[in-house]
Amino acid sequence: MDKQLSVIRAAKLAGVTRGELQSRIKSGHLPSFDGFVRVEDLLRLYPETRLEDNRTLERLERLKAEALGKDVASRTLPDPQVLAQRLAALGHRFARVQRQAEHYGGVLQGLEAHLRALEKASEPQVRELAVEVKLWVQAALRQRSPDAEGGYVDGGNWMSVMAPQVRLLPGDHSFLVEGADTVLEAALRAGLSIGYGCSNGNCGDCKARIVSGDVREVRSHDYVLSESERVEGYALLCTVSPVTDLVIETGVARRPDQMPWQFIDASLREIQRPGPHVAILKVRTPRTRRLRFLGGQSVRLSLDGGRLQGELPLANCPCDDRNLAFHLAEDREDPFTVYCFEQLARGDAVRIEGPLGDFVIEEEIERPLVFLACDTGFGPIKSLIEHVIALDIADAMDLIWVAGGSIGHYEDNLCRSWDDALDNFHYQEVRMGSGSDNGAWIAAVSGALAKREAPHERDYYIAGPTHFIDAVATVLNRLSVPGERRHYQPVPPRP
């Protein structure tokens, strides 16, 4: 029987994004069977794939960690008891396979004895047929098995131990649970916004039905599941880790209208000043009140006891739902911004309302992505890029960051790390002089986009001041880019 891997596992083993593998499937270069690909087809397309160890998986995770600035080393190994259960389940599976192999061995021995008896038959045709079948069976048994020394072994087995797969119903969302993550933590790391509230077992909002597979509770919780819920297979996703591959019945929010409106009392953790005219606000929510949002969305912040309010785009991945970042350009005419630059201090209370806006990644990415940011418009673009990296769905991404003289490319090193760490990611910085007119902005954007092949066949996400958005719109009109492939986010957001 052909060995098959799910698309997400095949992508991990080959060290490519799921988006690239799905593009290969759509183009017909990689056959797919009900969401699975054959090992030999994967090896034909990616001959350097190694299924007998986890070096390719480690490489991909290392690249993602560098790109997102996260530490994955601390969550490499599962909970010891969960790991023991997974190994035990794998042992039971191998025992069943061994019993089947012994059974098939007995069948072959019986077949050989039956063929020997037929060789002694008086009819010449029966003897010839028996000899032909016997020789065919012997030749087939002598053929080198793909599991023999120097070949490959099934990478799905060790992956099911170290990183079980979770598939969500309805829909076609799947992710791997690595290390000691709970199902909820793994879903958030994968960029999927499933329903949850406190994330520590008190509210029950992440309750979902386990359709198939086994889980083990790894976190204590106060919320009590009823006996009927336990019988039906319900569990709190924030408290369990998978023992085997899982299929779970729970919804995934992928559109702004599916996000609940939230009020959270948080506090300022830090103010970074990467440049004289730009500030990065780091806000931390309580452990039991995290913000659910989609990459690229905004929130309303209230400061100074509610006397000052401002709407700011989020500048971090939804997978980091407690540590929120906001990029703010100095504006001496805006009281909210002046307060942030001159009076806001670490530990101050920050009221969060949201999320707001529809500047989000579409559910299906079918074309290469081009991100264009100007000044602190990089904030929402950064949120989108990190969300795409977490979802692992884009085949190619281009980032063009245009900076005026007073702001500059204040996170240039981060962009270069994406360029270095991620395949098919290209970063280009563009500098504009102070006082540049509209024609200069149009020329700068046009020159940057001229280096891209088939610009009308890409999706564009643009964030920045209104004069920048107007310049980009003019260029995209000239390139005949359809309106549905353009997504704009003014920064600061329009009221």
Could you report the per-residue pLDDT of 466-483, keeping only the tens digit for each?
999 999 999 999 999 999
pLDDT at residue 336 in the model: 96
Order of all β-strands in the sheet with 278-284? 308-313, 298-303, 349-356, 262-275, 278-284, 323-329
CATH number of 369-490: 3.40.50.80
Give kind and range of the element (H or E) at residue 187.
Answer: helix 183-189
Class of domain 163-253: alpha beta
Residues of the chain with CATH 3.10.20.30: 163-253
Question: What single string gives the DSSP state of each residue in 334-388?
Answer: -HHHHHHHHT--TT-EEEEEEEE------S---S-EEEEEEGGGHHHHHHHHHHH
Does the pTM surpass 0.85? The reply is no
Instruction: Say what the pLDDT of residue 57 is.
Output: 47
| pLDDT the model gives residue 59 | 47
Tokens 């960051």 belong to residue: 401
Q: Which pLDDT score, from 0 to 100, does residue 13 have?
A: 79
Residues of the chain scoring pLDDT < 50: 1, 53-57, 59-60, 71-74, 148-153
CATH for 256-356 is 2.40.30.10
In DSSP terms, 216 is beta-bridged to: 241
In the chain, CATH 3.40.50.80 sits at: 369-490
Q: Where do the CATH 2.40.30.10 domains begin and end in the chain?
A: 256-356
pLDDT at 258: 92
CA–CA distance, 201 with 354 (Å, rounded to integer): 23
Q: Count H helices and E strands in the chain, helices first.
A: 14, 22
